[in-house]
Amino acid sequence: MITKGAIDIVNKLIRISGEDIDQDQQDVYIYGLECFLNTFITIILLMLWGLLSHRVSRLICGTRLYNDLGNCVFFIETFHGRSTCSNSTYMHIR
């Protein structure tokens, strides 16, 4: 569903811009938009859950802590050369 939405949005943006973009570049735009939409939808759902449970501040602090710990672990693994995943895998997960 998100992929179909991303494809539709990218095709509309390409049509509006009037640029001639090859398929490889379109795939990059679609992938980037999919990542953005996945993150955006997750954040919105988490905020709604926080509002409904009256725990928005805990949710924001927990999300921030989770994000900071993920960045810290990736930095330490990369710095010491013992990364458990490649950069492309990490970027896909984030």
For range 33-57, the mean pLDDT: 84
Task: Report the first-to-last Cα separation within the chain, whole angstroms.
Answer: 20
Convert the pLDDT of each residue in 52-93 to its tens digit: 888 878 777 777 777 676 666 555 555 555 544 444 444 444
The proportion of the chain whose per-residue pLDDT surpasses 90, expressed as a percent, equals 28
Q: Which residue has the higher pLDDT, 22 or 68?
A: 22
CA separation for the pair 94, 74 (Å, rounded): 11
